[in-house]
Amino acid sequence: MPTETVCLLHYRNGVVLHRYTSINDPIVRGTVIREALAAIFSSVLPTDRFVALGVADFGAVYPLFLPAATYEGSLSTQWITRVKIDATAYKLRGTPGFVLPLGVATFRQMTFKEVCVDPNEDGGLIGYDERVGHGEVTFENCTLDGSNGCDWLFYTWVSGTKIIRFTKCRLLFSRIAIAGCSGGGYNQDITADRCTFIGNANGSRSYGESSSDDPNTGGVLAAAVIRGGKLAMWDCNVTLTGLTAEYDLRQNPQWGCPRQAMVTDSYSTNPLTNIILDLQRNKVTHVAGVSQQV
């Protein structure tokens, strides 16, 4: 019999409330964690704490809904999703692989990874779904890895008040690291403090609504797109690598990001929406491709 090890611990007031084990198989571990969180979702308190151990793969079909709590990992902790951002029979459009709760959630030393299985679709790693309401999330010393087919790394393309904090995190992406829409208006408040952003347009072959017809106005490889609210980036290092293949509008569909920007708010921005940018002491390195505007 394969040996089982701990994959998730649930603490309340410093005491282990639930202990979940699994064999050392990422898919099995993902199934165990998914079923565990679903079973206790409604009873989890905001002051509860989860400790995640090992590698867990949650697959390409269903997103994982996370209850409001604190999550802690280790150097070996990695949660993987293969869910695309677009609608399927099991979820609405704009639902990432890991769905954040309304309320308050904190993540420390967790690695989330997106591997989109469909090269013609947009991958989406973690963020909010279509529910309207107040949400606060903090990432401390976390890695968000969307270097393989992930177009929307952190996704908050929804209405409602959202407060989002990244501190000393690594964000690897193929199109947009932080996607903040106009729907949240000036109730959207995003901060990245001492973070590392690594974007490589060659990691994605999806095309996007704006980039499929005009390389001059669409298809931006960017650390953030902000179409409403406040974005602060302090002491961050941003590296952007452009396409190594020629951007060709004759392809059907067109794919890739023919432009680079640290922050962008272009394409369908609501002119009545307030946007506040606070960009301080950031270092940006552009590695231009063969067809790239910077």
Q: Of the candidates 57, 73, 99, which is a domain's last residue?
A: 57
Same domain, 50 and 183: no
Q: Of the candidates 57, 78, 99, which is a domain's last residue?
A: 57
Residue 224 resides in a domain: yes
Q: Of the candidates 57, 81, 105, which is a domain's last residue?
A: 57
Residue 293 resides in a domain: no
Give pLDDT tens digits for 160-183: 789 999 999 999 998 889 988 765
In the chain, what percentage of residues exceed pLDDT 70? 82
Residue 133, Cβ neighbours under 10 Å: how many? 13
Residue 292 resides in a domain: no
Same domain, 19 and 83: no
Looking at the 3D structure of the chain, how many domains does it have? 2
Same domain, 213 and 98: yes
119 versus 114: which is more confidently predicted?
114
Residue 213 resides in a domain: yes
Per-residue confidence band for 186, with pLDDT thresholds at 50, 70 and 90: low
Per-residue confidence band for 123, with pLDDT thresholds at 50, 70 and 90: confident
Residue 294 resides in a domain: no
Per-residue confidence band for 87, with pLDDT thresholds at 50, 70 and 90: confident
pTM of the model: 0.91
Over range 17-41, report the average pLDDT. 97
Torsion from C-alpha of 130, 131, 133, 134, nearest 10 degrees = -80
Highest mean pLDDT: which range of 72-81, 202-211, 220-229, 274-283 = 72-81
Same domain, 39 and 93: no
Give pLDDT tens digits for 191-229: 999 999 999 888 876 655 555 555 555 577 889 988 888
Same domain, 248 and 148: yes
Residue 148 resides in a domain: yes
Same domain, 52 and 187: no
Same domain, 193 and 52: no
Give the structural domain span for 31.
1-57
Same domain, 138 and 220: yes
Residue 278 resides in a domain: yes
Same domain, 161 and 69: yes
Same domain, 73 and 155: yes
Question: Rounded mean pLDDT of the chain?
Answer: 85
Residue 177 resides in a domain: yes
Dist. CA 15–CA 13, nearest whole Å: 6
Same domain, 186 and 99: yes
Same domain, 70 and 41: no
Q: Is the separation of the CB atoms in 69 and 26 below 8 Å?
A: no
Highest mean pLDDT: which range of 38-47, 121-130, 198-207, 256-265 = 38-47
